Structure 1
Amino acid sequence: MLAHILFGANTEVGKTIWSTALCYASHYLAHAPVEYIKPVGAGPVEEADYVHLAKFVPCKCTNIHQFEKAMSPHMSEGAMQTTDASIVSALRKHLQASSFKNTFVETAGGVSSPAPSGSLQCDLYRPLRLPVLLIGDSKLGGISTTIAAYEQLKVRGYDISAILMLRDPENAPQYENWKYFSEIWSKSYSCHDKENIKCFTIPSPPALSQDAEADFKAMQKYYSESASVGYDVLKHIEQVQKTRLARLDDMINQTEKHIWYPFTQHTLVNPKEIAVIDSAHGDMYTVFAPNAKRKSEEALADGSKKEGSVAVEENKYKELFDASASWWTQGLGHGDPYLAMSAAYAAGRYGHVLLPNCTNEPALGLAEDLLSTVGKGWANRVYYSDNGATGMEIALKMALKAARIQHQLSGKIEIIGLEGAYHGDTIGTMDACPPNVYNVEVDWYDGRGIWFDSPVVKVSNGEVSVQWEDKSFSFTALDDVYNVSSRVNSHLAKQYASFIGEKVRTAMQQGHQFGALVIEPLVVGAGGMLFVDPLFQRVLVDIAKGRLPESPWYTEAHENKKAGIPVVFDEVFIGLYRLGQLRSADILGVYPDVQVNAKLLTGGLVPLSVTLASEELFEYFLSDKKSDALLHGHSYTAHPVGCHVARQSLKRLDQLNRTAWTENKQRWLEFFGCQNVNGVLSSRNPNAWSVWDPEWVYEVSKLECVESIMALGSLASVVLKAGDHGYQSSAAGQYLSRLREFSTGAEEYGILARPLGNVVYFMTSQITPTHTVKEIQAKIIDVFSQPR
Structure 2
Amino acid sequence: MPDPLQPDWLQIGAKHLWLPYAQMQTAPLPLPVVRSEGVRLHLADGTSLIDGIASWWTQAHGYNHPHIRDCVAAQLEKLPHVMLGGLANEPAMRLAARLAKMTPGDLDHIFFSESGSVSVEVAMKMAIQYWINRGKTGRTRFVSFRHGYHGDTMACMSVCDPDEGMHGHFKGYLPEQIVVDLPRDAAGEVAFDALFAARGHEIAGVILEPLVQGAGGMKFHDASVLRYLRQATDRHGHLLILDEIMTGFGRLGTMFAGEQAEIVPDIMTVSKALSGGTLPLAATIARRHVFDAFLSDRHETALMHGPTYMGNPLACAAANASLDLFEREPRLQQVAAIERQMRAELEPCRGLKGVVDVRVKGAIGVVELDRAGEGAWLRPHFLKRGVWIRPFGNIVYLAPPFVINEQDLHQLTSAITDVMALWSRERA
TM-score, normalised via structure 1 length: 0.51
Alignment partner of 1:361 out of 90, 94, 97: 90
State the shift of 1:246 in Å: 6.8
Alignment partner of 2:221 out of 532, 541, 552: 532
State the shift of 1:407 in Å: 6.4
Moved over 4 A (4+): 245-248
Q: How many residues align?
A: 421
1:365–1:691 Cα change, 3 Å: farther
Aligned residue number for residue 502 of structure 1: 194
Q: Does the 8 A contact of 1:433 with 1:447 survive in 2? A: no
Aligned residue number for residue 282 of structure 1: 38
Query: Match of 1:578, SS?
Result: coil
Q: Does the 8 A contact of 2:52 with 2:412 survive in 1? A: no
State the shift of 1:695 in Å: 1.8
Alignment partner of 2:369 out of 711, 720, 735: 720
1:409–1:721 Cα change, 3 Å: same
Q: Does the 8 A contact of 2:343 with 2:365 survive in 1? A: no
State the shift of 1:642 in Å: 1.0
Aligned residue number for residue 701 of structure 1: 350
Alignment partner of 1:396 out of 112, 116, 124: 124
Query: Match of 1:262, SS?
Result: coil
Aligned residue number for residue 76 of structure 2: 347
Give 2:142's aligned amino acid. Answer: I
Aligned residue number for residue 761 of structure 1: 397
Measure, in 2, the Cα distance between the counterparts of 1:249 and 1:647.
35
State the shift of 1:664 in Å: 6.6
Q: Which structure 2 residues correspond to residues 387-426 of structure 1 after superposition, within 5 A? A: 387-406=115-134, 408-410=136-138, 413-426=140-153
Aligned residue number for residue 308 of structure 2: 635
Q: Does the 8 A contact of 1:454 with 1:533 survive in 2? A: no
Runs of 5+ unmatched residues, structure 2: none
State the shift of 1:258 in Å: 0.8
Q: Does the 8 A contact of 1:692 with 1:711 survive in 2? A: no
Aligned residue number for residue 262 of structure 1: 20
Measure, in 2, the Cα distance between the counterparts of 1:355 and 1:397.
19
Q: Summarize deviations over 1:181-208 as a string: whole Å, max 9, x none.
A: xxxxxxxxxxxxxxxxxxxxxxxxxxxx
Q: Which structure 2 residues correspond to residues 348-747 of structure 1 after superposition, within 5 A? A: 348-373=77-102, 375-406=103-134, 408-410=136-138, 413-436=140-163, 437-442=165-170, 445-454=173-182, 492=185, 494-508=186-200, 513-546=202-235, 553=236, 564-656=237-329, 659=330, 662=333, 665=336, 690=339, 692-722=341-371, 729-741=372-384, 743=385
Q: Does the 8 A contact of 2:52 with 2:387 survive in 1? A: yes
State the shift of 1:523 in Å: 1.1
State the shift of 1:446 in Å: 2.2
CA RMSD of superposed structures (Å)? 2.3
1:653–1:568 Cα change, 3 Å: same
Query: Match of 1:317, SS?
Result: coil
Query: Match of 1:755, SS?
Result: coil
1:503–1:328 Cα change, 3 Å: same
Q: Which structure 2 residues correspond to residues 164-203 of structure 1 after superposition, within 5 A? A: none
Measure, in 2, the Cα distance between the counterparts of 1:248 and 1:422.
35
Query: Match of 1:607, SS?
Result: coil
Give 1:262's aligned amino acid. Answer: P
State the shift of 1:507 in Å: 4.0
Aligned residue number for residue 141 of structure 1: none
Measure, in 2, the Cα distance between the counterparts of 1:565 and 1:753.
40
Give 1:699's aligned amino acid. Answer: P
Measure, in 2, the Cα distance between the counterparts of 1:661 and 1:384.
25
Q: Summarize deviations over 1:319-347 as a string: whole Å, max 9, x none.
A: 11222211221111112222111111111
Query: Match of 1:372, SS?
Result: helix
Query: Match of 1:266, SS?
Result: coil
Q: Does the 8 A contact of 2:365 with 2:399 survive in 1? A: yes
Measure, in 1, the Cα distance between the counterparts of 2:129 and 2:298.
15
Give 2:363's aligned amino acid. Answer: S
1:444–1:345 Cα change, 3 Å: farther
Measure, in 2, the Cα distance between the counterparts of 1:734 and 1:646.
37
Query: Match of 1:575, SS?
Result: coil
Q: Does the 8 A contact of 2:53 with 2:401 survive in 1? A: no
Q: Does the 8 A contact of 1:435 with 1:447 survive in 2? A: no
Give 1:713's aligned amino acid. Answer: G
Give 1:497's aligned amino acid. Answer: E
Q: Summarize deviations over 1:281-330 as a string: whole Å, max 9, x none.
A: 11111113xxxxxxxxxxxxxxxxxxxxxxxxxxx421112222112211
Give 1:275's aligned amino acid. Answer: L
Q: Does the 8 A contact of 1:416 with 1:449 survive in 2? A: yes
1:527–1:631 Cα change, 3 Å: same
State the shift of 1:247 in Å: 9.8
Runs of 5+ unmatched residues, structure 1: 1-244, 289-315, 456-467, 469-491, 547-552, 554-563, 668-688, 723-728, 744-749
- Give the fraction of aligned pairs with identical amino acids, expressed as a percent: 26
State the shift of 1:515 in Å: 0.6
Q: Does the 8 A contact of 1:602 with 1:645 survive in 2? A: yes
Q: Summarize deviations over 1:377-431 as a string: whole Å, max 9, x none.
A: 2212111111101111111111121133446123x62011111222112222222
Q: Which one scores higher on RCO, CA 8 angstroms, separation ≥ 6?
A: 2
Q: Does the 8 A contact of 1:404 with 1:515 survive in 2? A: no
State the shift of 1:275 in Å: 0.8
Measure, in 1, the Cα distance between the counterparts of 2:402 and 2:335.
12
Measure, in 2, the Cα distance between the counterparts of 1:664 and 1:584.
13
Measure, in 2, the Cα distance between the counterparts of 1:660 and 1:566.
31
Give 1:753's aligned amino acid. Answer: I
1:269–1:664 Cα change, 3 Å: closer
State the shift of 1:632 in Å: 0.3
Q: Does the 8 A contact of 2:142 with 2:203 survive in 1? A: yes
Q: Does the 8 A contact of 1:283 with 1:334 survive in 2? A: yes
Larger radius of gyration between Structure 1 and Structure 2: 1
TM-score, normalised via structure 2 length: 0.91
Query: Match of 2:419, SS?
Result: helix
Measure, in 1, the Cα distance between the counterparts of 2:14 and 2:110.
41
State the shift of 1:376 in Å: 3.5
Measure, in 2, the Cα distance between the counterparts of 1:660 and 1:536.
26
State the shift of 1:577 in Å: 0.3
Query: Match of 2:205, SS?
Result: strand
State the shift of 1:639 in Å: 0.7
Q: Does the 8 A contact of 2:210 with 2:257 survive in 1? A: yes
Q: Summarize deviations over 1:731-757 as a string: whole Å, max 9, x none.
A: 34322221110x4xxxxxx11222221
Give 1:449's aligned amino acid. Answer: Q
Measure, in 1, the Cα distance between the counterparts of 2:78 and 2:5.
34
Measure, in 1, the Cα distance between the counterparts of 2:340 and 2:24.
35
